[in-house]
Structure 1
Amino acid sequence: MKYWSKGWQLLQQSLPSLRKQLAFPQTSLQLCLLGALGGLLAAILIILFRLSIIALQSFYLDKFDDFSTAPQEIRWLLPFAGAFCVGLIALLTGYKHYRLGIPFVIHRMKTMYGLMPFRNTFNQFFGGVAALASGFSVGREGPSVHLGAYGASYVGKKLKLPFNSIRTLVGCGIAAGIAASFNTPLAAVIFVMEVVLREYRIHIFIPVMLSAVVGALVTRLVFGMERELAILQISTLPGWHFPYLILCGVLIGMVAFVFNTNMMRIIRWFKNWPLPLRLLLAAAITAAVGMLIPQAMGAETGAIQYAVDAPTDVQLLLALFIGKMILTIFALGLGVPGGVVGPIFGIGIVFGTLLALFPGLLHGHSDHAGTYAVLGMAGLMAACLHAPLAALVAVMELASNPDIILPAMLVIATAYVTGVQFCKTKSLFLMQLDFLQLPYKVSPAADLLQKVGVLAQLDHRYHLLMESNETAIRQQLDRLAADELLLLKTNSDDGPQYQLASYDVSLSLTGQDAIHYLPVPVVSQQATMAEVHQLLEASREGAVCVIDDAQQQPEPVGLVRWDQVQGLLVKQNNLL
């Protein structure tokens, strides 16, 4: 206990210098270590999440995520039980905290530096466990991203780190969460950059990469090295397959258009229904389809297994493909908590196996079914989510076979172009954000300024005066150096108020008071230059006062002037 207390004191003493270091948009050892810590916390949350699902399913399934092994009298009850639990959790936490998954995380990354509310996270963890354990066709990566973001943001919030560094830590948590969910660290890094952050910065990339390593290593300690796609046999495709792969990419792009369009249609149709009724309808559809096609229930694992076991069973593959499409569209469209990437993997693998039937007829065997299954998964992920690079890297890692790279690039490119240009398909995540009217775009100036903390731009060339006596103010103004400012502090019922005092020659010529007073807004030391820009943009003069709100009696630690904001913007790409 003594050593713990001493360690905590040392941490508290080093926090001011740590916060200032992290305010700069640059790679640092401190940020990498914090990213690894956030990644570890995120990985622990995802492991607990996965173990909870496995533990629940062990009571009624002979094999994880294979609902065809559940007794028929139990199978149809499971979705209703899951819907009841999800609804109860949402009721206890408040329906306004029911915004979940990757779209919500993207929104928070752009507008709140990735800080995640606890109640939403509570909903995501237990609601996601209930949904996945009860057979809804949703993926575990949605909760993984949400939980990873919360775990990493908790570290930053607890230490009161600058918001720009918290945003980076959240990216680290998301990468660790995806790596812990699928055992794909590189794909996790690319997914964060391409889908969540939608940018590439080297000072973000390095800590995100380290956190993905931590997430993958911790996962392997618990679940081992195996990946879901390891059971698929990847073979080298002869050259004559490549023209056919172009056709496959076109078909996959069209499937992505059907998937995205119909999911958004379901969301629009039932948007005014109360959540309990939507969950009840999702449970009824899942139970009905599950009675006919139990293999379509659950996440992607069951679909992968059946595509491997019966690559030439056209009737089963078609039923599985249609059933999986219906269950996923209705489950996610009606608000069941979970992700879309897992079901897209399952749907893509089944559809790719169907596409392998034609070359299989020419060959007289199904040796290439596994290769086409992986290509179907990659193409559908790229076209649905507008994440072609993440899809390619995911395939490379999950398949663990370099022979898949060239055909995957061809299918991904064709599917993506088909979806974007000919079918006018937008990213499913962005379509959801637009419908929910959750902002996810910021101006180029704000985007740049969000990356720099106010602690990196502090100006200490000022004198703090507690008196409001005009004589004292004039005396202090006469003593100031040319580049110094006079900051006045007065106490009021609303707390300390700050003003800048200066001589104004134009006022003195009119016979008015020659002292000009300018209100000074207050910002937290966690703020970024984007908040300073927002406060001073209207007046385009003055400064903001940065206070140390980590103390019981917050005191000024410096000023940030408008000309510093101007200088930062002019320096970076002439944005003013």
Structure 2
Amino acid sequence: MLLPRDWQAKLRLRLAFPLTSVQLCLLAVVAGVAAALLILLFRLTIIGIQSFYLDRTDDFAGIAAEYRWILPFAAAVLISLMVMLIGMAHYRLGIAYVIHRVKTRYGVLPFRNTCYQFFGGIIALSSGFSVGREGPSVHLGAYAAGQLGHYLQLPYNSIRILAGCGIAAAISASFNTPLAAVIFVMEVVLREYRIHVFIPVMLSAVVGALLSRGVFGIGNDLAALQITSISGWHLPYLVLCGVAIGAAAYGFNQSIYWLLKFSKNWHLAIKLLVAAALTAAVGHVIPQALGAETGAIFYSVTASDQFWLLLSILLAKFLLTVVAVGLAVPGGAVGPVFGIGILIGTIMSMLPAWLADAPEFAGTYGALGMAGFMAATLHAPLAALVAVMELSYNPDIIVPAMLVIICAYVTTVQLFKNKSIFVLQLELQQLPYKLAPADDVLQKVGVLAMLDKNYLLLHNASEQDIQAVLDQKEPQQLLLVQSAEGLDWLDYDLTTAMTEQTALKRDTVQRLDHQATMADVHAVLDEQKGGLVAIYDPQQPGALLGIIRWEQVRALLTKENNLI
């Protein structure tokens, strides 16, 4: 360990409380650095590989047609071989899987999944599959931050926060959008807004943005879009655009869901080969649709008045993204969602541009289309609004973006009953992502924050010694006896109080790790609605740190508004 034992104990105790602290903020900085460096390595590797055969990153239209056939199939074979080496049980990944792990495992991710996500994501993104880098970014960021907490053996409630910090830093480093990264973590991954979580997550996002700007500069993927102010007569048309975008988002999500369900029992290698065949075939005809979002943005800017070209790229991009995400290609959907939304918005800009004889609306409508499509597909309206603000660097976009986002989101939810693409994936894979209200409260408090040390501990004591101690102990004290068989809680059996015989009641006390939260205590004691658990440090297996009683769990739930 890097810290002396007494410092470790103080650090763990401080982080067990759901409070903002300097210690947590410092750890958030370290987690942000680790996550951002991993993402920068991920991005630079993709750029380096593509530099061998692409003149411009993520633009597959300029390479020979045979390469557009070879690359997807080569990627499918490489990924399949990698999965065989890692094991088929470890190919679950992406944002949906991370949400599941955050809710059920405090954000701790397996090493093999992360290896597959890192190398599989590099291969998929380097070969033209229509997937985004945000899926691997979220996974890798959560893993890097979680490993920091695991190495220091921090309470799981703080590891969960660090996982959110890693995700924020990773998204910020990937897209240079620190504020949108924070909102995305709170709105989509953690699904809560609490100040003791918000501050360290925001700090990590800043770290990610600074490191990204140090390597890639201050620009972003939407820098080429020319954002201009639009007058009030556009607003009724934007309402119609929002409704249309909401309908398109429903079709997008349902198409992915249908393909996921249809191919659920296929071998992963078969899925990847089918995805490669479709990607190569469509890419042969419309190569501008290959890759993540960068190509779609480029053609939205350079060919903003070519309706049929943009429409063909949009339809091909829509199909290729559904195929890639629905057939488990290791990558994310958010990047292509950006590209599809920008294409939709650019096409919709042609009508007002024709009416006003002013083509400068294309960039503005492209950004608005991205915001609306992101809000409707991901169910993240606030993150979409903040993203378009950060990516456009223009406050004039706020009001029309809010209008489009509202119309798109209400349409897809109210009219089409559409669910988030991540929720659809979680439900299809039968991965739990919701917590009971009690667990949602108790997960935020570590057991170290609630330790009760009002007990007497005997080692291998005889029955006479036990009775002597019971007669002399204070009323609220508990008597624990440690033996070779384990730890027992002893007291007089009150059911024999009216008889002449005196009997002892012996209950076995279950053990929990010092990293556990009060939700873990609740899971152990909930069935009997009573009893206690003992808290140990694995590095000191013989040293009892303290106990947690059922009454403490009940009291914490009762006073949740004061504690959380």
Q: What is the TM-score normalised by the length of structure 1?
A: 0.96
Q: In structure 2, the residue corresponding to 1:65 is in which secondary structure?
A: coil
| Other-structure match for 1:568 | 556
Structure 1's consecutive aligned runs of 4 or more residues displaced over 6 angstroms after TM superposition are none
**Which residue of structure 1 lines up, in the alignment, with residue 318 of structure 2?**
325
Say which of 445, 448, 465 aligns to 1:455. 448
1:96 and 1:512 mapped to 2: Cα distance? 58
Alignment partner of 2:360: what SS? coil
Distance in 2, matches of 1:470 and 1:516, equals: 12
Aligned residues: 563
Question: Given that residues 169 and 206 in structure 2 are in contact (C-alpha distance below 8 angstroms), is that contact kept between their aligned partners in structure 1?
Answer: yes
> Is the aligned partner of 1:217 residue 2:210?
yes
Moved more, 338-347 or 566-575: 566-575
- Of residues 247, 250, 254, the one that matches 1:257 is 250
- The AA in structure 2 aligned to 1:409 is M
Contact 1:113 1:164 in 2 (8 A): yes
Matched, 1:397 2:390: yes
Question: In the TM superposition, what are the counterparts of 1:21-40 in structure 2 within 5 Å?
Answer: 21-40=14-33
1:527 maps to what in 2?
516
Task: Pick the aligned partner of 1:503 from 489, 492, 511.
Answer: 492
TM-superposition CA deviations, 1:172-203 (whole Å, max 9, x none): 00000000000000000000000000111100
CA distances 1:520-574 after superposition (whole Å, capped 9, x unpaired):
11000000001111111112222110001133x3421001111111110111259
Q: Is the 8 A contact 1:160 1:550 kept in 2?
A: no
| 2-structure distance, mates of 1:140, 1:539 | 47
Deviation at 1:506, TM superposition (A): 2.3
Which of these residues, 462, 471, 480, is aligned with residue 469 of structure 1? 462
Q: 1:423 aligns with which of 416, 421, 440?
A: 416
Residue segments in structure 1 that go unaligned for 5+ positions in a row: 1-7
C-alpha separation in 2, matches of 1:290 and 1:307: 18
- Residue aligning to 1:312: 305
Distance 1:229 1:222 in 2: 18
Please give the per-residue CA displacement for 1:487-529, whole angstroms capped at 9, x wherever unaligned: 111113xxxx111111233223245542111221100000000
Percent identity, aligned pairs only, is 58
Matched to 2:543, the amino acid is E
* 1:435 alignment counterpart: 428
Shift, 1:10, TM fit: 4.4
Q: Which amino acid aligns with 1:81?
A: A
Query: What secondary structure does 1:441 align onto?
Result: coil
* Partner AA of 1:519 in structure 2: T
Q: Does residue 358 of structure 2 align to residue 365 of structure 1?
A: yes
- 1:226 is matched with 219
Three-state SS of the structure 1 residue aligned to 2:456 is strand
Check if 1:539 corresponds to 2:528. yes
Counterparts of 2:2 and 2:105, CA distance in 1: 30
What is the alpha-carbon distance in structure 2 between the residues aligned to residue 562 and residue 143 of structure 1?
A: 41
- The Cα shift of 1:13 comes to 3.5
CA distance in structure 2 between the partners assigned to 1:503 and 1:273 by the alignment: 61
Distance, in Å, in 1 between the alignment partners of 2:446 and 2:153 is 12
The superposition leaves residues 450-501 of structure 1 with CA deviations (integer Å, 9 ceiling, x where unpaired) of 0000000001111111124110100111121122110111113xxxx11111
| Distance change >3 Å, CA 94–CA 554, structure 1 → 2 | farther
Partner of 1:208: 201
Name the CA distance, whole Å, in 2 between partners of 1:480 and 1:270: 65
| Range that drifts further, 344-353 or 477-486 | 477-486
Question: SS of the counterpart of 1:231?
Answer: coil
C-alpha distance in 2, partners of 1:340/1:406? 26
SS in 2 for 1:463: strand
Conserved in 2, the CA contact under 8 Å of 1:549 and 1:555?
no
Output the aligned Cα RMSD. 1.2
CA distance in 2, matches of 1:466, 1:509: 30
Structure 2 CA distance, aligned partners of 1:505 and 1:370? 78
The 5-angstrom pairing of residues 543-562 of structure 1 reads: 543-551=532-540, 553-562=541-550
2:57 matched to 1:64? yes
Taking the aligned partners of 1:484 and 1:180, their CA distance within structure 2 comes to 53
Q: Give, in whole Å, the separation in 2 of the partners of 1:267 and 1:285.
A: 16
1:227-250 per-position Cα deviation (integer Å, ceiling 9, x unaligned): 110110000001100000000000
Q: Quick one: structure 1 residues 512 and 85, their matched pair in 2 at CA, closer, same or farther if it must change by over 3 Å?
A: farther
Per-residue CA distance 1:279-335 (angstroms, 9 max, x = gap): 000000000000000000000001000000000101110000000000000011001
Contact 2:259 2:326 in 1 (8 A): yes
Contact 1:467–1:473 (8 Å) recurs in 2: no
What is the CA–CA distance in structure 1 between the aligned matches of 2:561 and 2:12, rounded to whole Å? 27
Q: CA–CA distance in 2 between the matches of 1:389 and 1:169? A: 22
331 and 214 in structure 1: CA distance in 2 versus 1, 3 angstrom threshold: same
Partners of 1:33 and 1:9 lie apart in 2 by: 15
CA shift for structure 1 position 123? 0.3
Aligned-partner SS, 2:506? strand
Deviations 1:336-366 (Å, cap 9, x if unpaired)? 0100100000000001000001001101131
| Contact 2:492-2:502 within 8 A present in 1 as well | no
Q: Secondary structure in 2 aligned to 1:483?
A: coil
Name structure 2 gaps, 5 residues minimum.
Answer: none
In the alignment, residue 173 of structure 1 is paired with which amino acid? G
Among 74, 80, 90, the alignment partner of 2:83 is: 90
Secondary structure (helix, strand or coil) at the match of 1:431 reads: helix
Match of 1:274 in 2: 267
Matches of 1:550 and 1:143 in 2, distance apart? 34
Code of the residue aligned with 1:337 in structure 2: it is: P
- Contact (CA 8 Å) 1:347, 1:377: kept in 2 or not? yes
In 1: Cα distance, 2:185 partner to 2:542 partner: 36
Instruction: Tell me, in whole angstroms, the C-alpha distance in 2 between the residues paired with 1:397 and 1:550.
Output: 46
Per-residue CA distance 1:243-267 (angstroms, 9 max, x = gap): 0000000000000011001111111
| 2:171 counterpart (178, 185, 200) | 178
Secondary structure of the 1:509 match is coil
Amino acid at match of 1:567: A
* Selected match of 2:400 from 400, 407, 425: 407
One-letter amino acid of the counterpart of residue 324, structure 1: K
Answer yes or no: is 1:484 the counterpart of 2:480. no
Deviations 1:366-390 (A, max 9, x none): 1100000000000000000100000
Tell me how far apart the structure 1 counterparts of residues 416 and 2 of structure 2 sit (CA, whole Å).
Answer: 59
Query: Quick check: 184-193 or 10-19, which moved more?
Result: 10-19
1:286 aligned partner, one-letter code: T
- 2:520 counterpart letter in structure 1: E
- The 1-side partners of 2:172 and 2:156 are apart by 24
The code of the aligned residue for 2:372 comes to: G
Select the residue among 233, 238, 262 that pairs with 1:245.
238
CA distance in 2 between counterparts of 1:12 and 1:292 reads 63
Q: Is the 8 A contact 1:97 1:120 kept in 2?
A: yes
TM-score (norm 2): 0.98
Aligned to 2:155: 162
Aligned to 1:4: none
Relative to structure 1, the CA distance from residue 456 to residue 332 in structure 2 (aligned partners, 3 Å threshold; closer, same or farther) is same
Q: Which residue of 2 aligns with 1:104?
A: 97
Deviations 1:132-153 (A, max 9, x none): 0000000000000000000000
Mapped to 2, the partners of 1:124 and 1:239 lie a distance apart of 46
Paired amino acid for 1:256:
A
2:32, 2:208 within 8 Å by CA — same for their partners in 1? yes
With over 3 angstroms needed to count, the CA separation of the structure-2 counterparts of 1:506 and 1:67, relative to structure 1, is same
